[in-house]
Amino acid sequence: MPSKICFRCKEEKPFSAFNKSKRGKFGLHSYCRECDSANHKRWHLKNREKVLKKVNAWNSRNPEKFAANKRKHKEKHKDHYFEYQKEWAKKNRDKCRLKKNIGIMLVNLNKWEKFLLIL
């Protein structure tokens, strides 16, 4: 199996461990995927404000796509959100009771408004 040496970690790895690149030798990137990923994460941490500014700008320009992506993500990770909500409810029982009581009061208030409109 053909292999190549990563420029960063200096390990010899198979071609399948490298991303494609038109400029690279053999049509592959000079760094392996692991090194490339680590470099990408390091850059994101270093330029966090710049990245967030760009992401927020895109989200504000594309609210429909942003909402659709958010829905897809929630649907894909439904079990994670459910577990998080359960844990939050256990830790914040007093807030949950308060929200429930407020919800009941609003429902009752709406019933009274409807009743008063009938009179």
Q: Which domain holds residue 12?
A: 3-35
The pLDDT of 5-32, averaged and rounded, is: 91
Residue 24: inside a domain, yes or no? yes
CB 27 within 8 A of CB 15: no
Helix then strand then coil, in percent of the chain rounded to 5, is: 75, 10, 15
Domain count for the chain, please give it.
1
> Does residue 108 sit within a domain?
no
Question: Domain for residue 64, yes or no?
Answer: no
Evaluate if pTM is beyond 0.75: no
Q: What is the pLDDT of residue 25?
A: 78
pLDDT digits (tens, 9 = 90+) for 25-71: 789 999 999 999 999 999 999 999 999 999 999 999 999 999 999 99
